[in-house]
C-alpha cells in the first residue's frame, strides 16, 4: 500500500501543469499602434482574439498603404485592394479611436492578410464558434437604447469576463460560418435584448443600395454603418 501511494505521488509530481496563456502585445510594423490580443481557452484549441474592434486608426493605415501606387508588390494587391471611399464612410460618427465601419467581408479578409504580413503572425476573421467562446461574462454594451444613433470610441464600456470590450453592441462583427461570412453581436442600432448571438446577419443588397458607383463597390457598404471587424489568431507561440 505504501509503495502504491509513493508511485501515485511520483506520477502527480511528473505531470506538468497547464501552460498559462498570456495576452499578446502585437506591434504593427511601421506604425505606432500596438494591439492587445486576449487568450481564450477552448476544448477545440486555444486562440487569441483582439481586445477591441478594429479602429479607424489602423484601418486607415491599411487603406492608405494598399492604395498607394508604390505598393505594387505589397502583401495585398494594391490594384485589387479596397478603392477609396466615395463619401465619408465613418458617417461623421468619429474617426480616431472609433471602430472602423462599412467594410465588406472581402475588405475585412484583405485587411487580415495585410496585417499578417506586417506582424509575421496570421490573423483572420473569427469563426462563429470562436466568437461565441469569447462572448462570456456580459460586459457593457452600446445599443439602440443608449448609443444615441452613433458608434462610440472602442473600450469605453466595461469589458467582459475575459477582458474583451464591445463583444456585444457598438458595431456588429464579421465571423465565418459554415454558410459563409455573417455579422454577429449586434450594434448601436440593435435593441439591448437582441445583442450577442441572437443577432446574426447575412449581407444583403439593401446594405449597398445607395452606392452611386456602378457596379456597386465590393469593398464598402453604403448603408451598413454598423458592420465592423475583430481579429483572431491561433499563432500565440511567441509573445512580444
* CATH entry, 21-233, from 3.40.50.720, 3.30.200.20, 3.90.1580.10, 3.40.50.2000: 3.90.1580.10
Q: Which residues of the chain have pLDDT under 70?
A: 1-20, 68-87, 214, 237-240
pLDDT of residue 69: 62
Mutual orientation of helices 105-119 and 56-66 as an angle, nearest 10°?
Answer: 90
83-108: per-residue pLDDT in tens? 666 557 888 999 999 999 999 999 99
94-144: per-residue pLDDT in tens? 999 999 999 999 999 999 999 999 999 999 999 999 999 999 988 999 999
- What is the pTM (predicted TM-score) of this model? 0.86
**Residue 12, C-alpha cell as written in the block:** 502527480
**DSSP 8-state code for residue 173:** E
83 neighbors 45 (Cβ within 8 angstroms): no
How far apart (Å, rounded) are the C-alpha atoms in residues 203 and 224? 9
Amino acid at each position: 500500500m505504501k509503495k502504491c501511494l509513493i508511485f501515485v505521488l511520483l506520477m502527480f509530481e511528473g505531470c506538468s501543469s497547464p501552460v498559462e496563456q498570456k495576452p499578446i502585445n502585437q506591434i504593427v510594423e511601421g506604425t505606432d499602434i500596438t494591439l492587445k490580443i486576449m487568450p481564450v481557452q477552448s476544448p477545440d484549441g486555444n486562440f487569441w482574439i483582439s481586445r477591441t474592434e478594429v479602429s479607424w486608426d489602423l484601418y486607415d493605415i491599411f487603406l492608405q498603404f494598399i492604395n498607394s501606387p508604390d505598393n505594387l508588390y505589397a502583401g495585398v494587391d494594391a490594384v485589387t485592394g479596397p478603392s477609396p471611399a466615395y463619401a465619408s464612410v465613418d458617417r461623421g460618427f468619429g474617426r480616431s479611436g472609433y471602430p472602423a465601419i462599412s467594410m465588406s467581408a472581402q475588405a475585412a479578409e484583405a485587411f487580415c492578410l495585410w496585417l499578417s504580413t506586417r506582424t509575421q503572425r496570421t490573423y483572420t476573421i473569427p469563426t462563429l464558434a470562436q466568437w461565441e467562446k469569447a462572448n462570456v461574462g456580459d460586459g457593457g454594451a452600446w445599443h439602440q437604447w443608449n448609443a444615441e444613433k452613433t458608434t462610440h470610441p472602442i473600450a469605453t464600456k466595461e469589458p467582459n469576463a475575459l477582458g474583451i470590450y464591445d463583444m456585444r453592441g457598438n458595431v456588429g462583427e464579421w465571423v465565418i460560418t459554415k454558410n459563409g461570412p455573417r455579422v454577429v453581436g449586434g450594434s448601436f442600432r440593435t435593441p439591448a435584448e437582441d445583442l450577442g448571438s441572437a443577432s446574426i446577419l447575412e449581407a444583403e443588397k439593401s446594405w449597398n443600395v445607395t452606392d452611386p458607383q456602378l457596379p456597386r463597390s465590393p469593398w464598402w457598404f453604403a448603408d451598413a454603418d454598423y458592420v465592423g471587424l475583430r481579429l483572431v489568431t491561433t499563432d500565440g507561440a511567441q509573445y512580444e
